[in-house]
Structure 1
Amino acid sequence: MHFDLNFPVTASVPPGSSVQPKKNKGKQPQQLSSIAFTPAQIKAIEARLDVLEHLGYNVVAFNQTIHKKIDPKTHVNILDGLLTQLRARPGVVFLKRLTIVLDEDSEKGFGLANANTSLVEPYDLIALLPTTSATFSLACLTHSLPSPLTAHIIALPLTLPRLPFHLKHTLVRTAIKNGAVFEINYAGAIGRESDGSGDGGTNTKRNWWAAAREVVRVTKGKSIVVSGGVASEADYRGPKDIVNLITLLDLAQHLAHDASTVVPKSLILRAQARKTYRAVLSEPRLVIPEVTKVPSVQPTKDDENSRDIVNSPQTSHPNPTSTLPQSDHPILRDPLGSKKRPCAEDDPESTTNGCVNSKTGEVALTEGESSRKNKKKRGK
């Protein structure tokens, strides 16, 4: 399963739909009355979808981009009306994504507040595109935490001559730990502007390669998702081509493959939990396991006989070794506990070498002991 989580779409705004009222000029402009897609735009979108379906993509996320902040008085969800006008495609899943471009004017607040939860809830994915150091820190530390307003994707302006902020390891690790991913759009690698920045052409390619390599270095190839971000059907690339392209950023082959398959899938699963409290996927349910009865084994006759033999008292022979004849004992002990070997059978009357007579039970003296005994007798 292959994913393209950045399918940019733009709608035509009817003239005069957001005109400032003549009175009370200081007030906010009125909400847009309607957002419409012309037949030419619908035809172009269908052509791009045909190419993606032919290349083997299964999940496509339509991307609506807004600048600065979400204003409840002017914000309109253009993707709901678009999906109703598109042709149904079996085997292809359509998602809705909202990308907020953060600049200096949006540092104090860009609309991701509890009061605007109803505006963000229809979108499947939320992405932030920071352009300053303050907004990048805010996106990594605050808006990547589990909540109904969690930002799942942190997009970066890779086509600028230089990144407007430094990719600090602490911020990147915190965002990855919270479940956010960093997006790399391959549109910049072919000279297109995926984020509306840069001047296009050769400079865009050079800037993209330098910035994308830095992203891979800081993230160590983890939590990276590769998207298209192109607006023309001629610029789309197949999944295998994207893997080969990303490996040129010093990314391992398996990590490059996961960037367009495994990581987007896990991202969408986490995004589904955004609409629940603290990103819990479902309400926990306590399951009490049933006690299973182990069938008892009936003892057999052989088991009963063996049990009787084991439990029977040993009254007839309390000491089995004592029943053996003394001649069969390999080693006999005297009262003092010294080991004495039995005398030879051919000479039972032998009284040498300290052996034991098996018949009389007398201990024979050794040659040294017998000589000392004879000397004592002579001395007397």
Structure 2
Amino acid sequence: MLYDLNIAWSPSTSAAELERTLRFSAALGYNVVALNHTITPPVPPQVANPLPKFPPSPAGPASSSSTTPDQTPNKQPKLPTVLHRATLVLNDPSAYHRLPQLGSSYDVVAVRPTTEREFQGACLNLNLTDASLISLDLAQRFPFHFRPKPCMAAVNRGLRFEVCYAQGLSSSVPGDAANDARARAAFIGNVVELVRATRGRGIVISSGARGALALRAPADVVNLLALWGLGSEKGMEGLGVLPRGVVVNEGIKRSGFRGVVDIVGTAEREKGEREDKAVGKGKAAAGEAAKEKQEKGVDNNDKNGNGENKRKIGEEEDGGGGGPEGDDNKPMSKRQAKKMKAAIRKAQNAEAKTT
């Protein structure tokens, strides 16, 4: 599955234009997209989600904040799975306390640091239960550099950096060629520096598109970022594996225990499987009973055999068996035969001495 976790939305975005963008994104091959609402401090005490709701996609999981309005015509491309995302601009340390409130209203929460102090704090101290995505406006020049130590520390902690390729395609001021050139130059330089600082790890690729014309196919995006140092394999991970991990982790934080343990409902066994399991248990119980019965029989036979041996030994000592003192019908034991032969030999020797 392919993900685009940043489709820009503002209150001025029309419903028709937004729907056209979503359908074109699905036509390009993206399965899950996120509508991004950028919030600047101060955050109100009561956070409301103004993003529009769309019907869940039948081919993918539904978002936690989606509903089912009237169905669209079948001739049009299907809508992808739509998530709701909030990006909080960090220019004040007090804004961190509002992140849990955003998490209860949105599916994905990201932060956008604007100063070196806030960038260092997001990389080293940002609580993963509040946000797991660092989104930077790479089309502007930063007064600081992306150093490997804080960037790799953030990646090792589970944070992800977002690169929005639409920032390098056009500036925020339409028709301004000078701004476009400066924005592209700043974007390319920042992307190269970020890839070098993170060694290409933990980079999520999104569009940041404000309309359908800013969207690009996944293969084009991977080839474009490969020119700036991000390998093809890392590029495909940035469109699939890494954003999926962000979405799954954000879902676990809202439904699991302390954002770590999630209880998933297990499927029930079918009727045939349950019957086979019951039959197997019955056979196993019958086999164990037969085994115990056999062991008891062996013990009884051993006891009876020991008694018979004792009786035979007693009879032999008492002179039972074949011979003049015993019963003629009973066979003579070997012990009695040896005694008899020894007595006969002794008698013959005594006669020989007397003669």
Q: Same fold (TM over 0.5)?
A: yes
* Paired residues of 1:71 and 1:111 also in contact (CA < 8 A): no
**Aligned equivalents of 2:133 and 2:178: distance in 1?**
24
Question: Counterpart of 1:138 in structure 2: which amino acid?
Answer: G
Q: Paired residue for 2:113? A: 130
**Aligned equivalents of 2:153 and 2:252: distance in 1?**
20
Question: Counterpart of 1:93 in structure 2: which amino acid?
Answer: T
Q: Paired residue for 1:66? A: 39
Question: Counterpart of 2:20 in structure 1: which amino acid?
Answer: A
Deviation at 1:200, TM superposition (A): 3.5
Query: Paired residue for 1:279, among 259, 281, 286?
Result: 259
Question: Counterpart of 2:19 in structure 1: which amino acid?
Answer: E
**Aligned equivalents of 1:262 and 1:199: distance in 2?**
37
Q: Paired residue for 2:89? A: 101
* Paired residues of 2:161 and 2:202 also in contact (CA < 8 A): yes
Deviation at 1:118, TM superposition (A): 4.3
Query: Paired residue for 1:257, among 233, 236, 241?
Result: 236
Question: Counterpart of 1:232 in structure 2: which amino acid?
Answer: G
| Cα distance, 1:232–1:81 mapped onto 2, change above 3 Å | closer
Query: Is 1:177 matched up with 2:165?
Result: no
Q: Paired residue for 1:207? A: 186
Query: Paired residue for 1:110, among 95, 102, 108?
Result: 95
Q: Paired residue for 2:124? A: 141
Query: Paired residue for 1:191, among 170, 174, 177?
Result: 170
Question: Counterpart of 2:212 in structure 1: which amino acid?
Answer: E
**Aligned equivalents of 1:215 and 1:246: distance in 2?**
12
* Paired residues of 2:4 and 2:30 also in contact (CA < 8 A): yes
Query: Is 1:247 matched up with 2:226?
Result: yes
Any idea what SS the aligned residue of 1:139 has? helix
**Aligned equivalents of 2:70 and 2:116: distance in 1?**
39
| Cα distance, 1:247–1:193 mapped onto 2, change above 3 Å | farther
| Cα distance, 1:130–1:146 mapped onto 2, change above 3 Å | closer
Any idea what SS the aligned residue of 2:37 has? strand
| Cα distance, 1:86–1:256 mapped onto 2, change above 3 Å | farther
Any idea what SS the aligned residue of 2:143 has? coil
1:249-285 CA deviation, whole Å, 9 max, x = no partner? 1122211111111111122111112223432141599
Q: Paired residue for 1:318? A: none
Which range moves more in the overlay, 162-171 or 122-131? 162-171
Deviation at 1:90, TM superposition (A): 5.0
Query: Is 1:50 matched up with 2:38?
Result: no
1:183-210 CA deviation, whole Å, 9 max, x = no partner? 000012212349xxx9731111111000
| Cα distance, 1:146–1:156 mapped onto 2, change above 3 Å | closer
**Aligned equivalents of 1:226 and 1:127: distance in 2?**
14
Any idea what SS the aligned residue of 1:126 has? strand
* Paired residues of 1:4 and 1:59 also in contact (CA < 8 A): yes
Any idea what SS the aligned residue of 1:205 has? helix
Question: Counterpart of 1:112 in structure 2: which amino acid?
Answer: H
Deviation at 1:101, TM superposition (A): 1.0
**Aligned equivalents of 2:142 and 2:43: distance in 1?**
24
Query: Paired residue for 1:78, among 50, 68, 75?
Result: 50
Across the aligned residues of Structure 1 and Structure 2, the Cα RMSD in angstroms comes to: 3.0
Query: Paired residue for 1:152, among 125, 132, 143?
Result: 132
Any idea what SS the aligned residue of 1:60 has? strand
**Aligned equivalents of 1:231 and 1:200: distance in 2?**
17
Question: Counterpart of 1:166 in structure 2: which amino acid?
Answer: H
**Number of residue pairs the alignment of both structures matches:** 251
| Cα distance, 1:119–1:208 mapped onto 2, change above 3 Å | closer
Q: Which runs of 5+ in 2 are unaligned?
A: 55-65, 266-280, 292-355
1:204-241 CA deviation, whole Å, 9 max, x = no partner? 11110000000100010111011001212112100110
Deviation at 1:78, TM superposition (A): 0.7
Q: Paired residue for 1:7? A: 7
| Cα distance, 1:169–1:48 mapped onto 2, change above 3 Å | same
* Paired residues of 2:22 and 2:80 also in contact (CA < 8 A): no
Any idea what SS the aligned residue of 2:235 has? helix
| Cα distance, 1:9–1:56 mapped onto 2, change above 3 Å | same
